[in-house]
Amino acid sequence: MTPAADETRLFECETCGGVGIGHNRPTCCGDSMTGVGTTETAVSKPSLETLLQTVFDMSGTELDVCLCVMEGGELTVTALAEQIGYERSVVARHLNHLADLGVVEKRRRIRPEGGHVYVYTPQPPEVVRERLRGEFLSWVRLATAQLDDLQREKVEAIADAETDERQWTVFQEQ
């Protein structure tokens, strides 16, 4: 199956094993990277909810909060909590995470009667898409490093084996 010209593709460097994602063939180690086939795979296409949960640690509740801000414009935590029926602390936590992701902008506003309040404003859709894409690519880089570590640990365990017993186990973070 040949990908469409405007389809995002996956590439791999034959020299170092680096991975590239894009529309055009990137270069690495001085050569063009090789396109990775997109035929059958054991991995199923993730739903948007699965993608948001896995990569961005975004729950269904946080997605609700995000969509409400996108639709509602500038909102305070209190106004949004009343609008969607979630506890104020839950809404505040999710809005802060969305601000960290760059999906919403958090600004402090001085109140005329004194004190201040934070207001949250949605970023334009193209900014949201680029921020999430950047975070996703960072996640892919970190996930690839985890797989590289797994392979390194396996090879080292086999190389260090002094017996015929099975030496390799999957290492998990404690």
For 107, phi then psi, to 5°, come to -130, 145
Beta bridge partners, 166, equal: none
Predicted confidence (pLDDT) at residue 77 exceeds the cutoff of 90: yes
What is the fold, at CATH topology level, of the domain defined by 48-124?
Answer: Arc Repressor Mutant, subunit A (1.10.10)
How confident is the prediction for the chain on average, in pLDDT? 81
Both tokens of 171, joined, read 């290492």
26-70 residue pLDDT tens: 888 888 888 877 666 777 888 888 888 888 888 888 988 988 888
| 152 or 92, which is more confident | 92
Predicted confidence (pLDDT) at residue 80 exceeds the cutoff of 90: yes
Both tokens of 125, joined, read 């859709």
Question: At CB < 8 A and 24+ separation, what contacts does 81-88 make?
Answer: 86/61
Q: What is the DSSP letter of 23?
A: S
- Summarize the confidence of residues 74-78 as an average pLDDT: 92
Max mean pLDDT range (29-33, 50-54, 103-107, 136-140): 103-107
DSSP 3-state assignment of 122? strand
Q: Are 67 and 79 in contact (CB under 8 A)?
A: no
Residue 34: what pLDDT? Answer: 83
Q: Are 65 and 80 in contact (CB under 8 A)?
A: yes
- Summarize the confidence of residues 75-97 as an average pLDDT: 93
What residue spans define the domains of the chain?
Answer: 1-38, 48-124
Cα 74 from chain centre: 25
DSSP 3-state assignment of 174? coil
Residue 96: what pLDDT? Answer: 94
Q: What is the dihedral of CA 11, 13, 16, 21, to 10 degrees?
A: -30
Predicted confidence (pLDDT) at residue 154 exceeds the cutoff of 50: yes
Both tokens of 6, joined, read 């405007």
Beta bridge partners, 21, equal: 10
